[in-house]
Amino acid sequence: MATTFYSQIGANKRNSVLLAVLVTLILGVLGLFIGWALFGDPRAAIPSTITAIGLGLLASLVSYFAGDSLVLATSGAREIGPDDLPQLHNVVQEMALAAGVPMPKVYLIDDTAPNAFATGRDPQHASVAITTGLLQKLDREELQGVMAHELSHVRNYDIRFSLMVGVLVGSVALLADFFLRFTFWGGGRRSRRDSSEGGGGLQIVVFLVAIALAILAPIAARLVQLAVSRQREYLADASGVELTRNPYGLERALAKITLDTEPLEAANRATQHLYFDNPIKAATGESLGLFSTHPAALDRINRLRQLSGEASVADPRLVLDAGEMQAELGRQALRPS
């Protein structure tokens, strides 16, 4: 039975919300144990817990208003108008109308690696950035699939969501790093000495748990962030099909981009989760596995094929071969007999 994109959207939204709550809980638990370890009293740790969560939320508010400008600047993107690339603007406008969102600003990244991303805090303040390689290597139908995917991110508020989760993950890392540095420079030794003098065996255990959490929490939070990113990619794929009513263009775009191993020079670890496909996969080997920012392209392709009730494929090249066969049949049908 074919899986409907409505069921995929519902499942991914529920999973993503649960993962965001988990990141916040990690931040709160880390703040609790650090405060308990430093002050020797769980009641004294309540302010540190509230502060830990509050700092993460404050950082999210700052990134909410300035994050998109920073991402575009670090990516080397320049804004272009309708007269610069009319076909690109036409495709973006088509997909924006289908998604029911305002026309976003369009940016171009001068790089031959095919990729794209969307950014902005909401549909009224959205931008899409496309590499020159994407325009050179994809046909119009495939470009529509990619733009439908990116504008689905805009319509579904994925960019705001992933940005806030990313900042919370950074807050976990900063808090853990502060505690470990404080411990290394003597604060932890004084805390253990005070506990020993007062016979606080429990305090020593709490302190050791806090150290373990400070080491493990950033890793756990990072895994949560990556899981959120992967779930959002599945959601945007399903939503993109809803906009185009054509999974084949998106399937072929995924196949072409994943088979192109050229890394995107403007991308980095802080921005790679925003892109249509992992832009530094060829340089790092992180296109698969637990620490990948994106699901495997073949998995995404096969989920799209489920939407139309088609059999899964074992290699992205088979999607391109089938697409070329369909194109040839279409050309033959147009020829005079």
Active site residue ranges: 150
The answer for 311, left when phi > 0, alpha when psi is -120 to 50, beta otherwise, is beta
Its sign, for the CA torsion 227, 231, 232, 237, is positive
Residues 113 and 131 sit within 8 Å (Cβ to Cβ): yes
List the structure tokens of 86.
């009319």
**Best CA proximity match to 279, nearest among 85, 162, 300, 292:** 292
Residues 174 and 166 sit within 8 Å (Cβ to Cβ): no
The answer for 66, left when phi > 0, alpha when psi is -120 to 50, beta otherwise, is alpha
Dihedral, CA of residue 327, residue 275, residue 79 and residue 240, to nearest 10: 50
List the structure tokens of 319.
């999607």
Residues in contact with 12: Cβ distance below 8 Å, sequence separation at least 6, in sequence order: 231, 232, 234, 235, 238
Residue whose pair of structure tokens reads 């430093």 in the numeric block = 38
List the structure tokens of 202.
């429990």
Residues 79 and 106 sit within 8 Å (Cβ to Cβ): yes
Element (H, E) at 116: strand 116-120
